[in-house]
A and B are shown apart, each in its own frame.
Chain A
C-alpha cells in the first residue's frame, strides 16, 4: 500500500501527516506537489492542513483549481481513499467531493486546543478499528471550521450514517457547549456517499503519540491501513 500527501503552496501539516504514515503506520509515503497529476501509484491520498494559497478568497477555494485536484476527483471516483484534514476538509468541500461548507467560527477566534469528538460510526474505512460512540481527544486549529449545510444535506448525512465525528464533551455528550465553532449538528467530520472520502476539522495526525499529549488520532490511520491491507 502506498500513501501520498498532497502539498499546496501554504500547506503546513504535510510533514506531520508524512511522519505519522511513515513512523506510526509504517507504510511508504510520498509528498505530491499540487502540480502533479499522476496518482496511479497511490492507494490513499491525504490532503493535509494548512493555509493553501493563504486562504485567499475563501479557505480551500483556490486550491481546488490546482492541477492535482482533477486527478483527486478521478481517484475518489475510482473508489480509492481520500482523507482531508482541516484545510483538506475545506478543499474537499470547495471541490464538491463533500457536501456543505466551512465558514468562520461562530466566535471569530482562531481556535487551537484539544477538544473531544465522538466517533459516530465505525462503518467507514477510517474508523473501522474504532468503536462507534467512543470519545477521542484530538486538537483543532482553525478559524473557519463552522460546518454549514442545508436541511436536505443534513438529512441525507444523518440518514446514510455519513456523520463520522461530532464535537462532544469529555463524557461523549454532544452539546451546544461542547461545540467549539458553531458547526451545524456539532459536525466535526463527514464522509461521502461512497464512504471512501473523509473530511474532518480536527487534526488526528497531531494526536498519534502520547508525547504530544494524545494518541487518540492514531486509530484513524490504523483503520485506513487495515482497510488497505485487506484490499491488497
Chain B
C-alpha cells in the first residue's frame, strides 16, 4: 500500500520561494500567473494492508513529522 502526503503552507504564511518561482515563470513569458505556492510531496510505502489503519498511521506521521501545524496543512491519499 502506498500513501501520498501533500504538505502546503497555510494561507497567509509568507512563501518567498513561491514568489521567486512566480517571478521566474513570468520571465519565461507566462503572464496571468496570479500566485505560486511551494509545497512538499511525500510517498510512503506501507506494509499495512488495512486501509483505515494505514490512513490513521499516515495522518499521524503527517501531523507530527512531515508538517508543522503552526505553518502548514497536510492532505493524505492512500493507494492500493
Contacts and interface: CB of A to CB of B under 8 A. Distances in A.
A14 B65 CA distance: 25
A58 B68 contact: yes
Main DSSP-derived SS at the B contact region? loop
Contact of B13 (A65, A93, A108, A148): A148
Interface stretch (A36-44, A98-106, A158-166, A216-224): A98-106
B16 A104 contact: yes
Q: Which of B15, B65, B70 has the most CB of A within 10 A?
A: B70
Interface of A: 57-58, 61, 65, 93-94, 100-101, 103-108, 146, 148-150, 182
B1 interface: no
Contact of A108 (B20, B65, B66, B70): B20
Nearest to A101: B70
Interface residues of B, number: 11
A182 B65 contact: no
B17 interface: yes
A65 B66 CA distance: 12
Interface of B: 13-17, 20, 65-66, 68, 70-71
B62 to A, nearest CB: 12
A146 B65 CA distance: 20
A52 to B, nearest CB: 15
14 contacts: A58-B68, A65-B65, A94-B68, A101-B70, A104-B16, A105-B16, A106-B16, A108-B17, A108-B20, A146-B14, A148-B14, A148-B70, A148-B71, A150-B70
Contact of B17 (A57, A61, A93, A104): A104
Contact of A107 (B16, B66, B70): B16
Nearest to B9: A103
Contacts of B71: 101, 103, 148
Contacts of B13: 103, 148
A61 B70 CA distance: 13
A149 B70 contact: yes
B46 to A, nearest CB: 19
Contacts of A150: 70
Nearest to A65: B65
Nearest to B16: A108
Contacts of B14: 103-104, 106, 146, 148, 182
Nearest to A146: B14
B65 to A, nearest CB: 7
- Nearest first, the 9 closest Cβ-Cβ pairs linking A and B are A101-B70, A108-B16, A101-B71, A104-B16, A101-B68, A103-B71, A58-B68, A108-B20, A148-B71
Contacts of A107: 16
